[in-house]
Amino acid sequence: MNNETRKEHRLGVMGGTFDPIHYGHLVAAEGARHSLSLERVIFIPAGSPPHKPGYFISEPRDRYTMTCLAVASNSFFEASTLEVDRPGPSYTIDTIHALKQLYPEHQIYFITGADALLEILTWKAFEELLTICRFVAATRPGYRLSELQSKLNQLPGNLKQNILCMEVPALAISSTDIRQRVREGRPIKYLLPESVEEYVLKKHLYRT
Ligand code: ATP
C-alpha cells in the first residue's frame, strides 16, 4: 500500500478530572469519535490535575472506577490508569508522550471542551503539544466558539491548524453542579450514567 492509499489510524483521548464523569463528557467523546472516524477513545482520569490546584477531588481510584463504569456500554471507549498511576501533577504533554510510545502508528486527537481549550496557552509545553497531536474542542454551554476562535488567532498558523472545533449537542452538565446537587440532596438522575450514580451513592461521595 502506498502513502496515498494508507488510511490514518486515529486515536481519541479524553482527559479530565471526571469527578464524576457525566453525559457531557460522553456526548463530546462520541461526537468526536463519529465525526473524525476515531478507532477508539481512551478516557484518562487525571491523577492530580495541575489546573485545579488545592481543589478538593475524590480519590483517583474512585474517579477511575466511575470512568470504567461510564464507558462500559460503548465498545469504542476504554478507560486508562496512565495518569492515576503516575506520581506528580498530570501534565497532558507527559501523557501524550506515553501514548505515542504505546500507539506509534496513530494520530492522536485530544478531545476537550471549549472551556478547557481556552486555557491552552497556559498548559505545560503547549507548543510541542500542538505539534505532536491534534485538539478537538467541543462546544459547551456558556463558552462561545467565537471566543475560542479569537484566542486561537493569537497562535502561529502551524499550531492553529491542529485545533478543530466541533459542535456537539449542548449539555449544561458539569461535575461541579453534580457534586453540589449531591451535597444538597437534589437529584442527579439523567445527568450521568445510572451505574455511576449508583457508585456515587454507594460510596457516599460528595456528601461533605
Ligand atoms: P468541574 O465542574 O469539576 O470543573 P467538568 O464538568 O468541567 O468538571 P472535567 O472532568 O474537568 O469536567 O472535564 C473534562 C473535559 O470535558 C474538559 O475538556 C471539559 O471542557 C469537557 N467537558 C466537561 N463537561 C462538558 C460538557 N457538558 N460539554 C462538553 N464538554 C465538557
Q: How far is the CA of 16 from the centre of ligand 1 (A)?
A: 7
2 found inside a domain:
no
pTM reported for the whole predicted model: 0.94
Q: Which residues contact 82 (CB under 8 A, 6 or more apart)?
A: 44, 95, 98, 99
Q: Which domain holds residue 14?
A: 8-202
Domain CATH for 170: 3.40.50.620
Coil, strand or helix at 155? coil
State the pairing for strand pair 77-79/134-138: unpaired
| Region class of 71: left (phi > 0), else alpha (psi between -120 and 50), else beta | alpha
Q: Which ipTM was obtained for this model?
A: 0.97
46 found inside a domain:
yes
* Per-residue confidence in pLDDT tens, the chain, 208 aa: 455 556 889 999 999 999 999 999 999 999 999 999 999 999 999 998 887 765 668 999 999 999 999 999 999 999 999 999 998 888 999 999 999 999 999 999 999 998 888 888 788 898 999 999 999 999 888 877 777 888 788 888 778 889 998 888 889 999 999 999 999 999 999 999 999 999 999 999 999 8
3 found inside a domain:
no
Tell me how many domains the chain contains.
Answer: 1
Q: How far is the CA of 107 from the centre of ligand 1 (A)?
A: 23
1 found inside a domain:
no
The single-letter DSSP state of residue 96 is: H
17 touches ligand 1 (CB under 6 Å): yes
